[in-house]
Amino acid sequence: MDDPSPQALERHAIELCEGAADQVRGRLVDPHSVSSKSTVTDLVTETDRRTEAWLTERILATRPADGILGEESGARQGDSVVRWVVDPIDGTVNFVLGLPNYAVSVAAELRGRIVAGAVCAPVTGETFHAHLGGGAYLAGARLTGPRDVPLDRAVIGTGFGYDRGVRARQAAVVAELLGQVADIRRLGSASLDLCAAAAGRLDGYFEAALNYWDYAAGLLIATEAGCLASGLRGNPPAAAMTAVAGRGCAAALFALLERLGADRVIDEP
Ligand code: LIP
């Protein structure tokens, strides 16, 4: 299992993701096992920690020289050209509340570039996956991205940070955006929002202040499905701003987000 080809890494990402989703599926949240991280609303559960430990153990059992970056345990230096970027439960607040929109996200970097990824939703059993240049798939069907609609008919996904001040500024952006689009969806999991765009269930998605593990796999899946992607103002998509959309509304959406300062909500006004 030391083949670092994007195809082999995609197969491994699928296996890891689906195995981790089995660890999460059906687990009831013990309220006493829920704690917070960056703010009181940034939750983490014992299942998050156990699932990431399971992922780490499986990766090291099959590819012991690889590096790992995980939401809960941080970075583990490797000696190979591959690093795994994992989020054991993306959408933890949904998981705690018993809402179905959460997923395991596993991405593989090859020499620092994401070349393979999988996102598996334990509740629906759906596994979205892609490798660089290979297209994006769900249940064997190739994903072809969003509808070809103009911005005023587009349904756009977004999300909000855990910091109260950032959230207030993000709300101001959404308040302006809502009058320019058909509707907004806030589903609570960046990885599944990106996969929704890939599957044509959203016409676009944007979010500021994400973590790398939130979007690493989903962004590859969205772009391999044909979504246009941007970090706004000529920047590549990144933690500061991740935006994807279909061709029919991408240019108008990205320009509007720039005008509204959607990528500048992190900085105090
Ligand atoms: C979540 C993201 C979501 C964002 C939430 C949170 P987590 O990740 O997937 O898009 O809006 O604030 O960051 O914390 O559940 O792994």
Those residues with Cβ within 8 angstroms of residue 179's Cβ, 6 or more apart along the chain or in another chain: none
Distance from residue 209's CA to the centre of ligand 1 (Å): 9
Average pLDDT value for residue range 168-189: 98
If you count them, how many residues does the chain have?
269
What tens digit of pLDDT does each residue of 218-269 get?
999 999 999 999 999 999 999 999 999 999 999 999 999 999 999 999 986 6
Flag whether pLDDT at 128 surpasses 90.
yes
- CA–CA distance, 269 with 262 (Å, rounded to integer): 12
Flag whether pLDDT at 1 surpasses 70.
no
**Model pLDDT, residue 38:** 79
CA-CA distances (angstroms) from residue 216 to 9, 98, 192? Answer: 14, 25, 12
- CA–CA distance, 51 with 34 (Å, rounded to integer): 14
Flag whether pLDDT at 40 surpasses 90.
no
Among residues 98, 116, 106, the alpha carbon closest in space to that of 30 is found at 98
CA geometry: angle 117, 65, 126, nearest 5 deg: 20
Q: How many CA atoms lie within 13 A of 179 on its CB side?
A: 5
What tens digit of pLDDT does each residue of 190-207 get?
999 999 999 999 999 999
Distance from residue 45's CA to the centre of ligand 1 (Å): 14
Mutate to test the pocket of ligand 1, among 214, 215, 241, 265 (most ligand atoms within 8 A of CB): 214
Global model pTM greater than 0.85: yes
